Structure 1
């Protein structure tokens, strides 16, 4: 494993040397300004500057190799941003795991820190010209992208600066992966609601989650609605087609037909209910047997019937995530026993179903299983936050015994935050983050 990452390490060392020789070390009182130092970093371009809370937020791009092991294959521009407050403050390294998001994260607020935000490779405009080689969108390649950014920017903050990575959901996974391959980049990780599908063949943890979340009455009502949506397929499909037509949705490049797209949306419905809602939404669940077609369809459309369609799949929007899931990250292949006799497509609930043929791939468990083992046994200074009623929080990372912790926020969904913990746990988690940042 070490030999396989050596080329990227050599590249990063060369980049660091170039940065230092270019005079980008922290400025003396009469030296170049922070912005001048930022503009002087080889391979980095300042594309804009805006004010955020009285501090500059720089829009940036960095030239990255398409393949860190084979830099001769070409490059692409990866977007990132830097909200700079002071070279004396910690840096929170944030990735959402998708396109570029610059929203202020909870650890940034706790630490009053600088925040560096990164767009994941091959999302948004962070793609190579002339087509995207999807086989190069791997966990290790993105970790190497982020390592190169750390190496480029770190000299502006000095050797004593503390760097903590954070992210939620896929961003929390990405932060964990970065730390696994480049642990010296960071002084700790705060990962929120980060799924850990270490064994993609075993989804029993997800099954148990849906057997226990909320109340029995709520679970039964949701299952009944989900089943009735397929029992009444002949009446519901025209409504679904009308929604698709009104919104300009098409399915021919991914799921193929409206019938397949409808079934996929119904299968995902209960997951989405708990991901975004809470037990307080349970009283809104209609009685499946007595509801009219219109009532059942409209409630479902408002509470979890998420439509997967061409314009937000493929190379667009969240589409690259499904490529990653199909290749390395894994997915929850639920059994849906209560729907067995009303499904038309028994094997549809997997990521290749929502990918165009050119992006479909085969899965390998090797990378994620290796990360899971490292987190459990070797990692240090990792803090995981999960939501009690969040389906994505069902399969969790297990922190090591080395200054690492896990907290479950009671009663909440995919939006779990430290601020929602009981007071004693919130104080403990906050104190840990402050300590890691040297505060």
Structure 2
């Protein structure tokens, strides 16, 4: 008899949970349909961690200062856990199509048992205006996009919010906080650079010191070997481009130069293994395949770089970037100088751009003087750590650098003791229970 009672109780509990879940789904849909900014709502299959997942199109002004300039639709992925739980806001720096993967979930979302909102950056993916007026692609306008989304969803989610992003997404998260400090309770920015020039200058110095001298020697030796075999590499590069229908804004010889110049940055950024660099006794094909795997020529082609064209504009206008040190290879390069390469052939056509560091200085000042509840995560050998941000020691702020960590560094990358410390601080910042 007692067994039957327990079984009945279990079944009743299950039914109540299902009814509660269904009620939450209906409430969220009802809420979304009453919001004028939400233009489109599509239910998609999401991670089983969530009760419901939607891809939304939200109407945003092209220019938040003057709405007469028109609007565009911004793609947003909403993964609902529970309105009584915190919200992790992912400020993606590029396209956000990955968020449609049913397996996708951010490590902070599971940590905080949170809802998750992933916002595609303006001018990327499916969030591209009908007319590409580049003057409206600013960090401030992007921050205001995120501010409107926070204002919109705070009507439904009343617990604390944390924003986060990786690389350019991390830059975007920090800028959002700098422009709207009260929007979010906490920020976790991964491998986010804070540059102060189109060619910041610190990255080239970093590449002269990172790792061991033996590894740096191997890298330069490999670069020189590739350039010494230019006559053999040129037809391989042409074959590579033809097979992919790639065209370039520069000659094949110049493409080879830039792929070789890019190699050390890419090598350290993604944490390649020095012991696997082919030596000078290797044949042409092996050398070429290793080069293009580590530093793909696609980056310098019209077709391969198309999805990054908006980023190149932002880098030349506000975000800054890195340059190349040509001196060690001067006698083997066909280009006389790599100075200004971003503006010369990486930008959208017929787009005059003038760089200003005002936005970076604003973010820098916020982190130095006013920031609270900010965690910065970097990898020690990632070249982007050369222009890493700094945050004031007061205000429950922390910066963690993973020894031998690359651009792939996440909280889960750290050893257990440090990981637990980071997680403890995040719980404290968001006032969430583990």
> TM-score category by the smaller chain?
0.7 to 0.9
TM-score, structure 1 length as denominator? Answer: 0.87
Question: Is the alpha carbon distance of 1:225 and 1:201 closer, same or farther for their aligned partners in structure 2, counting shifts above 3 Å?
Answer: closer
Q: Which residue of structure 2 lines up, in the alignment, with residue 185 of structure 1?
A: 183
Task: Tell whether 2:158 aligns with 1:134.
Answer: no
Q: 1:257 to 1:208 in 2, by over 3 A?
A: closer
Whether contact under 8 Å (1:323, 1:360) holds in the other structure is no
CA distance in 1, matches of 2:308, 2:182: 30
Matches of residues 342-421 of structure 1 in structure 2 within 5 Å?
Answer: 342-345=332-335, 346-347=337-338, 350-352=341-343, 353-400=345-392, 401-421=394-414
Structure 2: 5+ residue runs without aligned partners? 1-22
2:36 aligned residue (20, 39, 42) = 42
Say whether the 8 Å CA contact 1:197–1:395 is kept in structure 2.
yes
Find the counterpart in structure 1 of residue 8 from structure 2.
none
For 1:85-234, what aligned pairs fall within 5 Å after superposition? 85-100=81-96, 101-102=98-99, 103-129=104-130, 131-158=131-158, 161-198=159-196, 202-203=200-201, 205-234=202-231
User: What whole-Å deviation, never above 9, does each CA across 1:193-226 have from its counterpart, x for those lacking one?
Assistant: 00111355651x3233212222222111111111
Counterpart Cα distance in 1 of 2:314 and 2:332: 30
Shift of 1:359: 3.2
Deviation at 1:349, TM superposition (A): 6.0
Q: Pick the aligned partner of 2:331 from 332, 336, 341.
A: 341
Deviation at 1:306, TM superposition (A): 4.0
Gap regions ≥5 residues in structure 1: 1-28
CA distance in 1, matches of 2:361, 2:390: 12
Pick the aligned partner of 1:300 from 279, 284, 291.
291
Deviations 1:128-153, CA, capped at 9 Å, x for gaps: 22x21111101001001111111111
Q: In the alignment, is the contact (CA less than 8 A) between 1:172 and 1:194 conserved in 2? A: yes
TM-score of the superposed pair, with normalisation by structure 2: 0.87
For residues 233-262 of structure 1, the C-alpha deviation after alignment (integer angstroms, 9 at most, x for no partner) is: 2221111011000111111xxx33323222
Residue matched to 1:77: 73
**Equivalent residue, structure 1, for 2:278:** 286
Question: How far did residue 356 of structure 1 move?
Answer: 3.7
* Larger gyration radius, structure 1 or structure 2: 2
How many residues get paired?
Answer: 399
> Given the alignment, which residue of 407, 410, 423 partners 1:430?
423
